[in-house]
Amino acid sequence: MGSFRGVDYMHLDSLLTDEERLVRQSVRDFVDAEIIPVIKDCYNQGRFPSQIVSKMGHMGFFGANLKGYGCAEMSNVEYGLLMQELERGDSGVRSFCSVQGALVMYPILTYGSDEQKQKWLPRLQSGEAIGCFGLTEPGFGSNPAGMQTTARKVGSEWTINGEKTWITNGGVSQVALVWARTDEGVRGFLIETGTPGYTIRDIHGKLSMRASVTSSLSIEECKVPESAMLPLAKGLKAPLSCLTQARYGIGWGVLGAAMDCFETARQYTILRKQFDDKPIASHQLVQDKLAWMVTEITKAQLLALHTGRLKDQGKLEPAHVSMLKRNNVGMALECARLSRDLLGANGIMDEYPIMRHMCNLETVKTYEGTDHIHTLVIGERVTGVPAYK
Ligand SMILES: Cc1cc2nc3c(=O)[nH]c(=O)nc-3n(C[C@H](O)[C@H](O)[C@H](O)COP(=O)(O)OP(=O)(O)OC[C@H]3O[C@@H](n4cnc5c(N)ncnc54)[C@H](O)[C@@H]3O)c2cc1C
């Protein structure tokens, strides 16, 4: 297969600026050169391709839509295209970048002290430091309001106790943003790896996101100075605002996985012959699947682009992002399943990217608000009635 040309059924490229297309092409080239050649082995071996971190930092991928501290200051549409291209490589690589930028750098920039910004943002931007975001707990996933991790103020220090799990980048991070319950509500704390009482254990046995590190964080009588708390992050709305940033990137990212699956299946069905030496692409049932995929990809591209333009205009609401995440992840997962089917037995092989994308997308459906939870957000938005409990 030649290098990736994207999927543009409706000339949507004409809606992008030259600069946006340039960003997309440079990330596309990066993915072809640095991710595609290694990702199959990384995935099979359950290993993150750590050699790309400093290169991604150098390319300006981390916190790319944030301002200052060496960040690339991309528009939100450019940032979305970056996520799209990275996820064409692998959802685990896009997750790495999402966590670093949207879940660690964004909260430090938005809610942190000057000292925290100076200390962490340049290092996180360059990839010299890696961060993780600890919200989920063993007993509280979809409902973070139930969190049991606590932080107690003792003199000039905070003592933190709790357990966080399913934490992307945990085992490769130098700093964790851990959310904990205090007397003043939920607050965020920057805990540095190596702090006594803070231990990280990687989760093994994943059949999805195998090229991404996922860990549990154990926090036992862990003492951090007052200066470790993000001063402006008050209440659960602070971590939720970070999730909105990350979900926005996911809504774009999954387009990359979906396009890769569609394009792989399209090319395969034209070449593969069955029954009287005819390409399987000549059968109506096969074309039905291809037509469904390219239609849904096109609709999802429009949704992502419009969401991005709204974000750039400062008009984007969390409930809009829920629609983007829910629709585009569901669409990508269905494209992966249909493409897998169209490749027959070859569809299960690691020679093709489809099964890897499909397994990864099962995680993407679950994390950052499950499909159900985003359905409830949209339901509440249109009825005014919350249905979470
Ligand atoms: C690979 C991976 C990486 C992750 N990375 C991070 C990370 O970096 N940081 C972090 O904090 N977390 C992370 N997560 C955790 C992720 O955000 C949670 O798994 C997610 O929020 C769902 O929580 P849960 O797994 O506990 O499922 P549950 O909340 O137990 O949900 C199980 C099922 O019940 C459904 N359900 C629950 N409540 C309702 C309801 N009210 N109505 C209808 N259906 C409902 C859900 O939709 C789902 O189908 C990661 C997860 C994975 C798999």
* Residue spans of alpha helices (H) in 129-204: none
User: What's the whole-number mean pLDDT along residues 58-78?
Assistant: 98
**Atom from ligand 1 closest to the CA of residue 136:** 11
Using the 3D structure, point to which of 174, 205, 228 is the last residue of a domain.
228
Helix (H, G, I), strand (E, B) or coil at 9: coil
The reply to whether the predicted model has a pTM over 0.85 is: yes
Same domain, residue pair 212 and 287: no
How far, in Å, CA of 288 to CA of 140, rounded? 41
| Residue 5 belongs to some domain of the structure | no
**Atom from ligand 1 closest to the CA of residue 368:** 17
pLDDT in tens, 217-243: 999 999 999 999 999 999 999 999 999
Using the 3D structure, point to which of 64, 97, 126 is the last residue of a domain.
126
How far, in Å, CA of 69 to CA of 54, rounded? 16
- Residues with Cβ within 6 A of ligand 1? 99, 133-136, 141-142, 166-168, 209, 214, 363, 366-368, 370, 372-373, 376, 388
Query: Which residue puts its alpha carbon closest to atom 4 of ligand 1?
Result: 166
How, if at all, do strands 175-182 and 131-134 pair?
parallel
Same domain, residue pair 135 and 224: yes
Using the 3D structure, point to which of 191, 209, 228 is the last residue of a domain.
228
How far, in Å, CA of 25 to CA of 36, rounded? 15
> Do you know the residue count of the chain?
389
pLDDT in tens, 163-205: 999 999 999 999 999 999 999 999 999 999 999 999 999 999 9
Same domain, residue pair 204 and 323: no
Catalytic residue among 78, 317, 368, 380: 368
The b/e string for 85-111 (b: 16+ C-beta within 10 A; e otherwise) is bbbbbbbbbbbbbbbbbbbbbbbbbbb
How far, in Å, CA of 252 to CA of 262, rounded? 16
Dmax (CA) of the chain: 82
User: What's the whole-number mean pLDDT along residues 351-361?
Assistant: 98
pLDDT in tens, 289-334: 999 999 999 999 999 999 999 999 999 999 999 999 999 999 999 9
How far, in Å, CA of 333 to CA of 362, rounded? 7
User: What's the whole-number mean pLDDT along residues 123-127?
Assistant: 98
Give me the pLDDT at residue 3, please.
80
Let me know if 368 is a catalytic residue: yes
The b/e string for 180-219 (b: 16+ C-beta within 10 A; e otherwise) is bbbeeebbbbbbebebeebebeeeeebebbbbbbbbbbbb
Domains in the chain, number:
3
How far, in Å, CA of 179 to CA of 238, rounded? 10
Range of the structural domain that residue 153 is part of? 131-228
